[in-house]
Structure 1
Amino acid sequence: MSAIYLPCLDGRPDTQFPSTDSALTSPQGLLAYGGDLRPERLLSAYKQGIFPWFSEEDPILWWSPDPRAVLPVEGFHLSRSMQRFLRRCPYHVTLNHNFRAVIEGCASTHVEGTWITEDVIAAWCDLATIGQAHSLEVWCGHELVGGIYGMALGGMFCGESMFSRQPNASKLALLQLCRHFSDYGGKVIDCQILNPHTHSLGAREIPRQQFLTQLADLQKRIIPSECWVKKRLF
């Protein structure tokens, strides 16, 4: 049996990643390891359809899975029960009011959330500071009960994680992201890997090459800066 070679990013320039065609099929999409989480490397990775995902005890692992999960912003599945909930919804939603609280909420509420380490939190907060990462917060009164965060690349929003502490909070965050992003010309939410929750909300799988072509095209789309100005959405 031949050994599997996995490239190491240590010592490489921030923008240099292996071709996504070289990603492993088992585990699906694993591309490289090492490097760091500086904003320059993270931005380069996401622009190439690559993202980090690793446990606290592991080195940084970089992925580009095939297939890829995406949610067209006009394809959100609004169930009848969610429609009823919205008519009496006790929550309100804000944009970019407290990025750190959202990413910390994702880290603390997900069983699989241990990969959102303090280093990951710090790296994403750096991205938010320079206007490359954004959050939607769901509030019940003054209590943060849900949210979503990710990176905007033109007409694509790379959704990284979301959380709920109360019923339907993460669904509302994703719905409002889809509606708001669509209003400003956004087209697709990258969901990375399909799971039952995102599938129930309208996400679907497409081949990696189709995703990369879509990503390259949507990065060229000009989204008005007003789209990401701090505001109340709902």
Structure 2
Amino acid sequence: MVRLDENEISFPDPALYDSHEGVIAFGGDLSIERIWFAYQLGIFPWYNPGEEILWWCPDPRFVLFPNELKVSKSMRKILNREVFTFSENQNFKEVIKNCQQTSRNGQTGTWLSDELMNSFIKLHEHGFAKSIEVWQDEELVGGFYGLQIGNVFCGESMFAKVSNASKAGFINFIESHKDSLELIDCQSHTEHLESLGAKMISKKEFLKILYKNNER
């Protein structure tokens, strides 16, 4: 791994740098300039609060191509019944706060530190990060957030207070933007997203798609 200089925003080239687990650097800071630069390179921060910042670019990469989205018959019925309504960028702060507070199976805490959360809120204020909200009876019951880089959406975290809320929001988001989205970056594997059609691709293929979008 490479130690980052806090006074210089740079990273090892992820196309040339390989590590067994996908960590390519540590240290640095969580300035919005560094985070935005990292995501354009296919790198993201993931670490335990109170510990050194770790920067990842795993190989393989877990992604979803919008045209490969799988919607079960039961989910299609829920969507057709209009159990939920959806919005974008209407309440970013509440979405990310709920993501931070949601308990995860096998996790005793959260990887989303207050510092990282505040950086994403600033990224949203600068137009780089977006949120998807899921509503039921005018109450926020689910959602997710991430960064948009060209036609690639880099998903970060999601939450659901009622069954199927986050899944419905994810499906609605993809189907509403299927003509403008080329790829959803899911980062690491979850059975939840695999059931919707996400799969592993090589880091090389992922970076090729991402960099093509950076050039637009």
TM class by shorter chain equals over 0.9
Counterpart of 2:84 in structure 1 is 91
Listed one character per residue, the Cα deviations across residues 72-115 of structure 1 (whole Å, up to 9, x for unaligned) are 12221100110121222321111100001111111111324611
Listed one character per residue, the Cα deviations across residues 182-213 of structure 1 (whole Å, up to 9, x for unaligned) are 24x22111001121111011101000011000
Aligned to 1:182, the other structure's residue is in SS state coil
Task: Give unmatched runs, 5+ long, in structure 2.
Answer: none
Deviation, structure 1 residue 12: 4.7
Q: Distance in 2 between matches of 1:217 and 1:208?
A: 14
Counterpart of 1:50 in structure 2 is 43
2:184 to 189, 210, 219: 189
Deviation, structure 1 residue 141: 1.6
Deviation, structure 1 residue 172: 1.2
Deviation, structure 1 residue 70: 0.9
Aligned to 1:41, the other structure's residue is in SS state helix
Counterpart of 1:67 in structure 2 is 60
Deviation, structure 1 residue 220: 3.3
Q: Distance in 1 between matches of 2:63 and 2:214?
A: 15
Counterpart of 1:13 in structure 2 is 8
Does 2:27 align with 1:34? yes
Deviation, structure 1 residue 135: 0.3
Aligned to 1:105, the other structure's residue is in SS state helix
Q: Distance in 1 between matches of 2:112 and 2:125?
A: 18
Listed one character per residue, the Cα deviations across residues 34-70 of structure 1 (whole Å, up to 9, x for unaligned) are 1111111011100000000011131110000000011
Q: Distance in 2 between matches of 1:166 and 1:87?
A: 17
Contact 1:69 / 1:191 at 8 angstroms: preserved in 2?
Answer: yes
Q: Distance in 2 between matches of 1:12 and 1:199?
A: 39
Does 2:129 align with 1:133? yes
Counterpart of 1:159 in structure 2 is 155
Give the residue type in structure 1 aligned to 2:205: Q
Give the residue type in structure 1 aligned to 2:95: V
Q: 1:107 to 1:193 in 2, by over 3 A?
A: same
Contact 1:97 / 1:135 at 8 angstroms: preserved in 2?
Answer: yes
Counterpart of 1:215 in structure 2 is 210
Q: Distance in 2 between matches of 1:47 and 1:200?
A: 27
Give the residue type in structure 2 aligned to 1:204: K
Counterpart of 1:124 in structure 2 is 120
Deviation, structure 1 residue 10: 2.9
Contact 1:74 / 1:178 at 8 angstroms: preserved in 2?
Answer: no
1:169 to 165, 171, 184: 165
Contact 2:65 / 2:182 at 8 angstroms: preserved in 1?
Answer: yes
TM-score by length of 2: 0.94
Listed one character per residue, the Cα deviations across residues 123-165 of structure 1 (whole Å, up to 9, x for unaligned) are 0000000000000000112211100100000010001111111
Aligned to 1:128, the other structure's residue is in SS state helix
Counterpart of 2:175 in structure 1 is 179
Task: Give unmatched runs, 5+ long, in structure 1.
Answer: 1-5, 222-234
Contact 1:71 / 1:203 at 8 angstroms: preserved in 2?
Answer: yes
Deviation, structure 1 residue 22: 2.2
The alignment of Structure 1 onto Structure 2 pairs a total of residues equal to 212
Q: Distance in 2 between matches of 1:70 and 1:114?
A: 22
